[in-house]
């Protein structure tokens, strides 16, 4: 291996690592606030990317029907609750978000020539379709079992993942797709060529991470989510309901997932089930952080990205094996350290 190849692989590793870092942050966030191990995180990656592909192909993305269906279901549930609780004032808001919003989206996608819009607008449409599925998923699937043990939540997560992959095959077909890059620019940095898309991925990830940090440190709702993660009972006593925190968390997780998908769609071919593998690597990174530490998770993501890139050069047939084997020493180290802490107490 010469220096140039090493630089190329490093660049690849950092690009992928940036995406894994985003997904790892989302996984840590979801687990800390709701105790859900969010296996379907990766599905938002492929849903985001492939919804963008459909929009660019001039089709009505099938995911919008899923959004409408889930919205109707949630509306049926919540309208009944609102009526029983004697709060008819909430009806308008509920119906607005659950039913009117997806319908408006469908209408816009049918009437506007979205195919000819600039890419930024197409991306916004893709996010507008995919991201609201996050809070809806929380409302329909996790909120009714919010008090269940972690294991039950995990089993449900696996079920949701399988269902979403199946629906993905139905919506997008078995063909893989790519989107055109955000910019065709190429930069020469010494001996290495850096593609514009790589810079987009790394910079967007950094911006998103900083934005998330600001959100958690500065805003009331960010603090409320942290409070829920630290002390659930205390948060409830402040009027921060677990349902609100859960919906907000899933919104962020879906946003991060869909955005990651949109970012990497020009670099790798995305299939309906690609997201799972990407999400799993984010999960490995999150495990490095013990599902609790954000900086450790981000560092783990970078490690996973680089390990993947270099092992694809030396032993490309085994690159997944090498990446996922990383979990074993990490878990060993964590459990040995964990027992030590227990002894101290």
Partner 1 sequence: MNANIHGSNLILKTVLEVRDLTVSYGKVEALSNANIKVGEGQIVTVIGPNGAGKTTMLSAIMGLLESRGKVDFDGTIEGVPVVERMVARGMNLVPEKRELFGEMTVEDNLVLGAFQRHRSGHRDHAQTMEEVYQLFPRLKERRSQLAGTLSGGERQMLAVGRALMAKPKLLMLDEPSLGLAPLIVREIFRIISELRRRGVSILLVEQNARAALQVADYAYVLETGEIAMEGPARQLADDPRVIEAYLGLGGKHQEMLST
| Binding site residues, partner 1, CB under 8 A | 220, 223-224, 226-227, 230-231, 233-241, 244
Phi, psi (rounded to 5 degrees) for 341: -60, -40
CB closer to partner 1 out of 139 and 226: 226
CB closer to partner 1 out of 178 and 236: 236
Name residues whose C-beta falls within 8 Å of residue 343's C-beta, 6 or more positions apart in sequence: none
Written as one string, the DSSP assignment of 42-111 is HHHHHHHHHHHHHHHTTPPPTHHHHHHHHHHHHHHHHHHHHHHTT-THHHHHHHIIIIIHHHHHHHHHHH
Rounded to the nearest whole angstrom, what is the least distance from the CB of residue 54 to partner 1 in the complex? 37
Rounded to the nearest whole angstrom, what is the least distance from the CB of residue 57 to partner 1 in the complex? 42
- Can you tell me the distance from the alpha carbon of 103 to that of 94, in angstroms, rounded to the nearest whole number? 14
Q: For the chain, how big is the Rg over CA atoms in Å?
A: 21
- The SS3 call for residue 271 is coil
Rounded to the nearest whole angstrom, what is the least distance from the CB of residue 216 to partner 1 in the complex? 10
- Can you tell me the distance from the alpha carbon of 319 to that of 154, in angstroms, rounded to the nearest whole number? 27
CB closer to partner 1 out of 233 and 328: 233
CB closer to partner 1 out of 22 and 225: 225
Nearest to 261 by CA among 137, 178, 161, 158: 178
Nearest to 265 by CA among 251, 253, 282, 278: 278
Rounded to the nearest whole angstrom, what is the least distance from the CB of residue 100 to partner 1 in the complex? 23
Rounded to the nearest whole angstrom, what is the least distance from the CB of residue 89 to partner 1 in the complex? 13
Extract the tokens encoding 70.
Answer: 């889930």
CB closer to partner 1 out of 292 and 332: 292
Rounded to the nearest whole angstrom, what is the least distance from the CB of residue 281 to partner 1 in the complex? 28
Alpha-carbon 206 to chain mean position: 15
Rounded to the nearest whole angstrom, what is the least distance from the CB of residue 94 to partner 1 in the complex? 17
CB closer to partner 1 out of 218 and 340: 218
What is the four-CA torsion angle of 92, 235, 215, 197, rounded to 10 degrees? -80
Residue for token digits 């998770």? 297
CB closer to partner 1 out of 207 and 238: 238
């Amino acid at each position: 291996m010469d220096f140039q190849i090493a630089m190329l692989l490093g660049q690849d590793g950092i690009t992928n690592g940036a995406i894994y870092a985003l997904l790892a942050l989302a996984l840590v966030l979801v687990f800390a606030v709701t105790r859900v191990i969010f296996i379907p995180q990766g599905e938002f990656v492929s849903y985001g990317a492939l919804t963008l592909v459909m929009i660019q192909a001039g089709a009505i993305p099938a995911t919008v029907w899923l959004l409408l269906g889930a919205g109707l279901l949630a509306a049926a549930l919540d309208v009944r609750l609102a009526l029983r609780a004697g709060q008819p004032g909430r009806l308008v808001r509920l119906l607005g978000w659950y039913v009117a919003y997806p319908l408006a989206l469908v209408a816009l996608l049918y009437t506007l020539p979205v195919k000819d819009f600039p890419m930024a607008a197409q991306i916004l449409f893709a996010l507008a379709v995919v991201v609201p599925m996050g809070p809806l998923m929380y409302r329909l699937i996790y909120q009714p079992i919010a008090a269940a043990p972690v294991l039950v939540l995990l089993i449900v997560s696996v079920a949701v993942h399988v269902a979403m992959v199946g629906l993905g095959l139905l919506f997008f077909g078995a063909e893989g797709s790519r989107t055109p890059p955000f910019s065709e620019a190429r930069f020469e940095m010494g001996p290495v060529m850096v593609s514009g898309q790589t810079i987009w991925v790394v910079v967007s990830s950094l911006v998103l991470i900083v934005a998330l940090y600001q959100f958690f440190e500065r805003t009331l709702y960010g603090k409320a989510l942290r409070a829920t993660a630290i002390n659930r009972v205390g948060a409830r006593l402040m009027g921060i309901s677990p349902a609100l925190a859960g919906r907000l968390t899933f919104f962020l997780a879906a946003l991060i997932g869909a955005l990651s998908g949109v970012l990497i769609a020009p670099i790798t071919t995305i299939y309906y089930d690609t997201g799972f593998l990407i999400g799993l690597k984010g999960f490995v990174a999150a495990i490095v952080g013990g599902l609790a530490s954000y900086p450790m998770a981000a560092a783990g993501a970078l490690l996973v990205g680089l390990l993947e890139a270099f092992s694809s050069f030396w032993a490309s047939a085994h690159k997944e094996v090498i990446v996922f084997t990383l979990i074993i020493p990490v878990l060993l180290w964590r459990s040995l350290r964990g027992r030590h802490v227990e002894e101290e107490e």
